[in-house]
């Protein structure tokens, strides 16, 4: 009986199965996604995720252990230089299995297995989702009243600035009006002074003429 035997032998001996999983892990590390059957993908997930966890510690010992499993120096370099940095903040669950249907011919269940952090479409969808919150009308009204109060307080400095500007403009207009009045007064004074001098000259001439005529009359007498 096969009680408590959870491993799927995949119809292969141990050496063949280990070699197949090693090659599949190398392909997954290099290409970030591979297309295979669902049972193989599930076994590959159990095989490759401990290797990715081991790559988070970039030491000579870790590299030797991973190389003994993969037997591919290019895959080891890719894993330790790039993938380990990409999954540094993820505590496990580095792969995702997406079922694609059944294979034509033997009707085997097929799927994609991929590295989670290299699927930008799935990462973008998860980041755009927002938590929905429900608010009652009473809470919304209560929150609106303090918000209005804070808004009026926030607008007070702006109102004061506007009033100060208006006061400055009024003062400037008053100063201009006073200057114009002073200019008008000086013009009027100048205008009034010039006729006075002319009148005085005329009066002097008339007096001289009268005196000359009086002297002439006295001489005749």
Number of domains making up the chain: 2
Last-in-domain residue among 90, 122, 154: 122
pLDDT tens, 72-103?
999 999 999 999 999 999 999 999 999 999 99
99 and 29 belong to one structural domain: yes
128 is a domain residue? no
Is residue 18 located within the same domain as residue 95? yes
Look over the chain and give the mean of its residue pLDDT values, rounded to a whole number: 81
Residues 90 and 158 in one domain: no
Is 4 inside any structural domain?
no
Question: How confident is the model at residue 172, as a pLDDT?
Answer: 83
Q: Give the torsion sign (CA, 209, 214, 219, 221).
A: positive
In Å, how far are 28, 46, 75, 77, 79 from 53, measured between CA atoms? 15, 12, 15, 15, 10
In contact, 20 and 8? CB cutoff 8 Å: no
* In-domain check, residue 135: no
Residue 3 pLDDT level (bands cut at 50, 70, 90): very high
Same domain, 159 and 116: no
d(CA 160, CA 157): 5
Task: Report the pLDDT value the prediction gives residue 162, as an integer from 0 to 100.
Answer: 79
CA atoms 85, 90, 94, 100: torsion sign:
negative
Question: CA-based Rg of the chain, rounded to a whole angstrom?
Answer: 51
Q: Which structural domain, as residue segments, surrounds residue 151?
A: 144-221
pLDDT at residue 128 in the model? 53
pLDDT of residue 182: 67
Question: At which of 88, 122, 156 does a domain end?
Answer: 122
Q: What's the pLDDT at 166?
A: 82
Q: Does 158 lie in the same domain as 63? A: no
User: Do 42 and 118 share a domain, yes or no?
Assistant: yes
Do 23 and 113 lie in one domain? The reply is yes
Kindly state whether residues 29 and 113 are assigned to the same domain.
Answer: yes
The percentage of residues in the chain with a pLDDT greater than 90, rounded to a whole number, is 50
Q: For residue 111, what is the domain's CATH number?
A: 3.90.1030.10
Q: Report if residue 105 sits inside a domain.
A: yes
| Pick from 50, 35, 45: nearest CA to 8 | 45
The answer as to whether 172 is a domain residue is yes
Q: What is the pLDDT of residues 165-181, one digit of tens each?
A: 888 888 888 877 777 76
Confidence of residue 210 (pLDDT cuts 50, 70, 90): confident
- Residue 161 and residue 198 in one domain: yes
Cα angle, residue 215 at apex, residues 212 and 217 outer, rounded to 5°: 110
Question: Does residue 219 have a pLDDT over 70?
Answer: no
- Give the per-residue pLDDT at 177: 77
pLDDT in tens, 44-66: 999 999 999 999 999 999 999 99
């Amino acid at each position: 009986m096969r009680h408590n035997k959870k491993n799927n032998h995949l119809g292969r001996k141990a050496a063949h199965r280990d070699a197949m999983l090693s090659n599949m892990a190398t392909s997954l590390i290099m290409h970030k996604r591979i297309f295979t059957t669902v049972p193989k993908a599930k076994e590959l997930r159990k095989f490759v995720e401990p290797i990715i966890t081991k790559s988070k510690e970039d030491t000579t010992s870790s590299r030797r252990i991973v190389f003994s499993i993969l037997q591919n120096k290019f895959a080891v370099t890719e894993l330790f230089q790039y993938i380990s940095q990409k999954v540094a903040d993820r505590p496990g669950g580095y792969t995702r299995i997406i079922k694609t249907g059944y294979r034509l011919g033997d009707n085997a269940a097929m799927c994609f297995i991929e590295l989670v952090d290299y699927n930008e479409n799935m990462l973008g969808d998860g980041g755009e989702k927002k938590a929905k919150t429900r608010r009652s009308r009473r809470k919304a009204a209560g929150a609106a009243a303090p918000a209005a109060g804070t808004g009026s307080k926030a607008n007070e400095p702006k109102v004061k600035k506007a009033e100060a500007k208006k006061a400055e403009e009024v003062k400037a207009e008053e100063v201009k009006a006073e200057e114009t009045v002073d200019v008008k007064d000086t013009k009027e004074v100048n205008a009034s002074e010039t006729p006075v001098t002319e009148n005085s000259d005329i009066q002097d001439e008339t007096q001289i003429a009268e005196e000359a005529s009086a002297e002439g009359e006295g001489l005749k007498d």
